[in-house]
Amino acid sequence: MTFARINGTVLHYRLSGPQGAPALVFVNSLGTDARIWDEVIALLSQTYLCLSYDKRGHGISDVPVGDYSLDDHLDDLSGLLDHTGIDGAVLVGVSIGGIIAEGMALRAPHRVHGLVLCCTAPRMGDAPMWTARIETVRGAGLGAMVDAIMERWFSPTFRAERTEELGGWRNLFLRTDPEGYANTCATLRDTDLTDAISAIAAPTLIVGGDADLAAPLDLVRNGLAIPGSRLEVLPGVGHIPSIEQPAILGRLIDDFLKEVGHG
Ligand SMILES: O=C(O)CC1=CCC(=O)O1
């Protein structure tokens, strides 16, 4: 276990792979933690220096009080890069993690050598949706929404055939701190990078799953406003490809890194 206090917030992070190798930084989604990347990192850390972390409000990182802004997440990520001595990296983000990665490419383009944006879009949902979700979690807890969320996260095949894994990831969701979850929903309520992302210059690979109910392909395609970006669609995959198809995602990332000269 490794921890750093970044701007007053303790963040849990993991660093693996050869020191001095090209760096990859993985940013997790709402209601998950760094463990969603473990199988992908097991493959890529042979070659790359891999940093994953529990973003604020999640996993065993601190749960600061109050709504989290995109800038809060970017301050955390910048501080963690400083702390780990990573000057620049390719960022791999899923869902809100992809929005954080886009935000970093806009704020600190010199530190972002490329983006892999999984199952994400510059704007996810709308304010009424996130306000309703915040009210549900504060009023009734995560248990009130867990079944619906598992349907948003995982394809029907995964849910039918990989029941032990489904049970484990369900536990992860249910053990998420409700305030950390609600405070992160506020980031999604308040963030819209739709008009901004055409200014991103980093080489970008967008990955979508055609069984993703949380980020359907029509939404994911909005990311193609990033100049030069391209989309890879994973058939039969839901919202978290690092869990459903880690080997395929790992290969896509590796190929992309070589293509952009980061491998
Ligand atoms: O919980 C969901 O609906 C899926 C999701 C949306 C943003 C995120 O990070 O996860």
Per-block mean pLDDT, blocks of 10 residues, the chain (263 long): 95 97 98 98 98 98 98 98 98 99 98 98 98 98 98 98 98 98 99 98 98 98 98 98 98 97 79
Check residue 1 and give its pLDDT: 79
Strands of the sheet containing 23-27, edge to edge, are: 2-6, 9-16, 49-53, 23-27, 89-94, 112-118, 204-209, 230-234
Q: Is the CB of 215 under 6 A from ligand 1?
A: no
Ligand 1 centre distance from Cα of residue 211 (Å): 14
Ligand 1 centre distance from Cα of residue 18 (Å): 32
Contact of 41 with 250, CB cutoff 8 Å: no
Q: Is the CB of 99 under 6 A from ligand 1?
A: no
Give the residue, by CA position, lying nearest to ligand 1 atom 2.
Answer: 214
Nearest atom within ligand 1 for CA of residue 95: 9
Containing domain of residue 52, as a range?
2-260
Check residue 45 and give its pLDDT: 98
- Each residue's pLDDT tens digit, 136-182: 999 999 999 999 999 999 999 999 999 999 999 999 999 999 999 99
Pocket perturbation via mutation, ligand 1, pick of 26, 28, 29 by most ligand atoms within 8 A of CB: 29
Contact of 29 with 36, CB cutoff 8 Å: yes
Pocket perturbation via mutation, ligand 1, pick of 96, 155, 169 by most ligand atoms within 8 A of CB: 96
Q: Is the CB of 30 under 6 A from ligand 1?
A: yes
Q: Is the CB of 134 under 6 A from ligand 1?
A: no
Residue found by looking up tokens 């309520």 in the block: 189
Amino acid type, 166: L
Number of compact structural domains in the chain: 1
Classify strands 204-209 and 230-234 as parallel, antiparallel or unpaired.
Answer: parallel
**Phi and psi of 262, rounded to 5°?**
-105, 0
Q: Is the CB of 188 under 6 A from ligand 1?
A: yes
Cα angle at 200 between 194 and 201, to 5 degrees? 155
Question: What's the per-residue H, E or C state across 59-127?
Answer: CCCCCCCCCCCHHHHHHHHHHHHHHHCCCCEEEEEECHHHHHHHHHHHHCHHHEEEEEEECCCCCCCCH
Ligand 1 centre distance from Cα of residue 92 (Å): 16
Cβ neighbour number for residue 19 with a 10 Å cutoff: 8
Nearest atom within ligand 1 for CA of residue 125: 6
Q: Is the CB of 81 under 6 A from ligand 1?
A: no
Beta pairing partners, 51: 15, 25
Give the residue, by CA position, lying nearest to ligand 1 atom 4.
Answer: 214
Check residue 217 and give its pLDDT: 98
Check residue 86 and give its pLDDT: 98
> What CATH number is associated with residue 210?
3.40.50.1820
